[in-house]
Amino acid sequence: MLSLRSATSALLLRTGTQIATVRAVPRVRSSPIRLCGSPPIRALFLSGCLCKKKKRSAWLEMTEGQNMDGSIEEVLAPLRLAVKEQGDLVRKLKAENAPEVDVNKAVAELKARKRILEAKELALQPKDDIVDRTKMEDTLKRRFFYDQAFAIYGGVSGLYDFGPVGCALKNNILQVWRQHFIQEEQILEIDCTMLTPEPVLKTSGHVDKFADYMVKDVKNGECFRADHLLKAHLQKLMSDKKCTAEKKTEMEGVITQMDNYTQQELADLFVQYNVKSPSTGNDLTPPISFNLMFQTSIGPGGNMQGYLRPETAQGIFLNFKRLLEFNQGKLPFAAAQIGNSFRNEISPRSGLIRVREFTMAEIEHFVDPNEKVHSKFSNVADLEIMLYSSKAQTSGQSAQIMRLGDAVEQGIINNSVLGYFIGRIYLYLIKVGVAKDRLRFRQHMDNEMAHYACDCWDAETKTSYGWIEIVGCADRSCYDLLCHARATKVPLVAEKPLKEPKVVNVVQFEPNKGAIGKAYKKDAKLAMEYLAICDECYITEQEKLLNENGEFTIETEGKTFKLTKDMVNIKRFQKTLHVEEVVPNVIEPSFGIGRIMYSIFEHTFRIREGDEQRTYFSFPATVAPYKCSVLPLSQNQEFMPFVRELSEALTRNGVSHKVDDSSGSIGRRYARTDEIGVAFGITIDFDTVNKTPHTATLRDRDSMRQIRAEVSELPEIVRDLANGAITWAEVESKYPIFEGQETSKKETVEE
């Protein structure tokens, strides 16, 4: 790990014409001092050659982009360099097979520097696309898109109820998802139970690893997520005018490393900074690991432990054999599931972004690991997508717009199956209203990926909270199927006929039944059944342990078996195959519907030019909660037959609509429907009643322009607009623009 103490020479930074020497940065812990974050900025704080006034001046000069000479890139250059140097160090340590503890420390430092760079990039970008979140959330709450659940009882954090508008929007987003993926890709949809027995989630790793650190108020038991509370406490201390520059720098270093601390390190920091309960000021317990799953018992006896599922994927893996049979035993194929999942977040926050119950839509695409080529990749190869590769992140570079085909050809994306789904995810997100210029795909760095994963990309959107993940797309190799096969002794494989017989090398465990039987008596059968279904990869791993330690351990059906060299051997032989067994690899796109909805809210929220009070959502017509409003200009009974005729015709054409026959002015009613994102509005006016053929106006929400067409034509026009079959520009070119009605209420009365 790079440290100031071990550095052989002082690090120099050119800031304009001045050279500042980087000196030792105070650290929280007693471990070697690290270059945490941006050494140049720390240097401006701490360099002994700068007096206090100059330090403050230099800091402002570095952090306020508008007061600096030179471009944004000049400001970011030292931060990019710091990331690149640390990335090079990580690669060097890995190449030299350095101790794991050193690699982990170097990676933690790299992530900290990367976060500082990304935060500075966001801070220096133009603020035009930043939404007025307060105004937007007021609209969402006032028009009951969604609200906190159990509100009249005081509400429960992290649980939300969707109102009529939010429910319609969510259903439309899911309907487009089904059409875009399930129908177009011929994916098999299933619907599994949300209650999951403990052994399933024990096998998947959720029981042991799905956890965060938590602290409790020692007197009233109130719980807080440890890292969030520590960060908030440090930010409060830093805002105090009495806090010195050196102390602020020290605490900034702690915050940037927040994701990397162990349980004991967090405990030490809570003591060092004297963190108390923010509600009561009481002492807190040391951090403890808290599993994020909701635990329950299945059945009246309470003997079967279970959980509410933390994801929908496991149900698909468990039904793999049935799905493979349904697909006539052929690979590749995909299965999907839409449903609610549950995570008992310690500190839910940020509205729909971090909640305790949420809707997921997940796809598991099963593919032969030797044939990771998608036949339809050419359909998306020419898409230009903003990609933030692992290499770019560790080199301090920005995300780049790149042709998808080139990314696969150059090996940036591991294979064309993964590339195809990235392209399809991109097209879907644009279709439902995510802004193209605020969407990127970020590749997981090596240290972020699970050991079994080949490649992982997250679709991230830029919001007022920064970049947030809304879709994950991972090549999970064969890990999940193998885990469940080992645990259940049911082979989860596909068979592939061979064109010619093939001789293959086989590796198997050869158990000594007598030795195992003597050691484990009636449980010996469990151990031998487990050994019989192990795959070559697992056997090779255990063989290494057997040779190094003289033993290895297996777990099956809640029992643990320690097996020594006299109990088991490794047998290798050759076998002629006519049919090859394949454990499929899995490409998994996983969609967080609530996060997608929130991104759409921010990306489509608008304020009418010249009227700060008129807000609206510019939802694409395909997902708009209502496609059309029907607005009679008057409450006169002569208008009602036209309202009924249009409403019935819109329903027959499958167009969701809302009739507003209230007494408010037409402008106010337009504003009300715009506010909930209704895409189009049909207005029945006096010309509709007085003139034949009967016509009405059709208004576009975003441009506020109107055309006039016959009443009988309007439902089909709206249907085609909502389905994307035609555009508003095409409608305007075909029908006359509405300038004003020719008859009035007075003429109607006279008639």
The mean per-residue pLDDT over the stretch 702-725 comes to 94
Structure confidence at residue 12 (pLDDT): 29
Coil, strand, or helix at residue 569? strand
| pLDDT tens profile 685-712 | 999 998 889 999 999 999 999 999 999 9
Structure confidence at residue 69 (pLDDT): 39
CA–CA dist 510, 532 (Å, integer): 8
Q: Strand 657-659 relative to strand 628-632: parallel, antiparallel, unpaired?
A: parallel
Q: What is the largest CA-CA distance in the chain?
A: 108
Q: 726, 675, 686: which is closest to 708 by C-alpha?
A: 686
Cis peptide before 332 (omega within 30 of 0): yes
Structure confidence at residue 451 (pLDDT): 61
Tokens of 519: 């050691």
Kindly report which listed range (13-27, 388-402, 694-708, 714-728) carries the lowest average pLDDT score. Answer: 13-27
CA–CA dist 294, 304 (Å, integer): 14
Tokens of 303: 């003997």
**Crossing angle between the packed helical segments 39-46 and 52-63, to the nearest 10 degrees:** 160
DSSP element (H, E) containing 77? helix 72-95
8 A C-beta contact, residue 619 and residue 480: no
| pLDDT tens profile 458-482 | 999 999 988 999 999 999 888 889 9
What's the chain's length in residues? Answer: 751
* Amino acid in position 531: L
8 A C-beta contact, residue 605 and residue 634: no
Residue 42 has pLDDT above 70, yes or no: no
How many of the other CB atoms lie within 10 Å of CB of 362? 22
Global pTM? 0.78
Structure confidence at residue 707 (pLDDT): 95
Q: Strand 439-443 relative to strand 384-388: parallel, antiparallel, unpaired?
A: parallel
Coil, strand, or helix at residue 576? strand
Burial of 452 (0-12, 13-18, 19+ CB in 10 A): middle
Structure confidence at residue 19 (pLDDT): 30
The mean per-residue pLDDT over the stretch 355-374 comes to 94
pLDDT band at 127 (very low <50, low <70, confident <90, very high): low
**Crossing angle between the packed helical segments 714-722 and 640-652, to the nearest 10 degrees:** 40
Q: Could you give the C-alpha distances from 614 to 82, 310, 610, 620, 675, in angstroms and in order?
A: 46, 40, 9, 19, 8
| pLDDT tens profile 49-106 | 333 333 333 333 444 444 443 578 888 888 888 888 888 888 888 888 888 778 878 8
The mean per-residue pLDDT over the stretch 609-628 comes to 93
8 A C-beta contact, residue 25 and residue 10: no
Residues 6+ apart with CB under 8 A from 412: 387, 389, 391, 402, 443
Structure confidence at residue 51 (pLDDT): 38
pLDDT band at 440 (very low <50, low <70, confident <90, very high): very high
- Higher per-residue confidence, 244 vs 2: 244
Coil, strand, or helix at residue 14? strand
Structure confidence at residue 628 (pLDDT): 96
Residues 6+ apart with CB under 8 A from 640: 632
| pLDDT tens profile 416-427 | 999 999 999 999
The mean per-residue pLDDT over the stretch 588-617 comes to 94
| pLDDT tens profile 482-512 | 999 988 888 899 988 888 888 888 899 999 9
Strands (E), 114-159: 146-148
Strands (E), 679-720: 680-684, 695-700, 706-710
Residue 142 has pLDDT above 80, yes or no: yes
Coil, strand, or helix at residue 123? helix
8 A C-beta contact, residue 293 and residue 307: yes
Residues 6+ apart with CB under 8 A from 150: 156, 159
pLDDT band at 387 (very low <50, low <70, confident <90, very high): very high
Q: Residue 286 carries which DSSP code?
A: P
- Higher per-residue confidence, 202 vs 221: 202
SS3 content of the chain, % helix, strand, coil (to 5): 40, 25, 35
Residue 726's region, left for phi above 0, alpha for psi from -120 to 50, else beta, is beta
| pLDDT tens profile 275-285 | 998 888 889 99
Structure confidence at residue 383 (pLDDT): 96
Structure confidence at residue 745 (pLDDT): 63
Residues 6+ apart with CB under 8 A from 467: 118, 122, 440, 442, 460, 461
Tokens of 718: 């709206």
CA–CA dist 538, 550 (Å, integer): 17
CA–CA dist 388, 115 (Å, integer): 14
CA Rg value for the chain: 31
| pLDDT tens profile 521-580 | 888 988 988 898 888 888 988 999 999 999 999 988 888 999 999 999 999 999 888 888
**Residue corresponding to tokens 């990749």:** 377
CA–CA dist 230, 232 (Å, integer): 6
8 A C-beta contact, residue 162 and residue 170: yes
CA–CA dist 336, 364 (Å, integer): 6
Strand order in the sheet with 211-216: 223-225, 211-216, 288-291
Kindly report which listed range (165-169, 521-525, 622-626) carries the lowest average pLDDT score. Answer: 521-525
**Average confidence score pLDDT of the chain:** 85
Kindly report which listed range (190-199, 245-254, 583-592) carries the lowest average pLDDT score. Answer: 245-254
Residue 296 has pLDDT above 60, yes or no: yes
Q: Residue 285 carries which DSSP code?
A: P
pLDDT band at 128 (very low <50, low <70, confident <90, very high): low
CA–CA dist 467, 459 (Å, integer): 10
Residue 34 has pLDDT above 70, yes or no: no
**Residue corresponding to tokens 């305790």:** 356
8 A C-beta contact, residue 453 and residue 476: yes
| pLDDT tens profile 325-348 | 999 999 999 999 999 999 998 878
The mean per-residue pLDDT over the stretch 34-39 comes to 37
Cis peptide before 693 (omega within 30 of 0): yes
The mean per-residue pLDDT over the stretch 211-240 comes to 87
- Higher per-residue confidence, 8 vs 567: 567
The mean per-residue pLDDT over the stretch 632-638 comes to 89
Structure confidence at residue 408 (pLDDT): 95
CA–CA dist 244, 448 (Å, integer): 35
CA–CA dist 464, 129 (Å, integer): 9
Residue 8 has pLDDT above 60, yes or no: no
| pLDDT tens profile 312-326 | 999 999 999 999 999
Structure confidence at residue 185 (pLDDT): 95
Tokens of 448: 């972020």
CA–CA dist 215, 229 (Å, integer): 9
CA–CA dist 588, 334 (Å, integer): 9
Coil, strand, or helix at residue 745? helix
Structure confidence at residue 75 (pLDDT): 84
pLDDT band at 742 (very low <50, low <70, confident <90, very high): low
Residue 41 has pLDDT above 50, yes or no: no
In the chain, the domains with their CATH numbers are: 211-291 (3.30.40.230), 497-581 (3.30.720.200), 626-733 (3.40.50.800)
8 A C-beta contact, residue 563 and residue 397: no
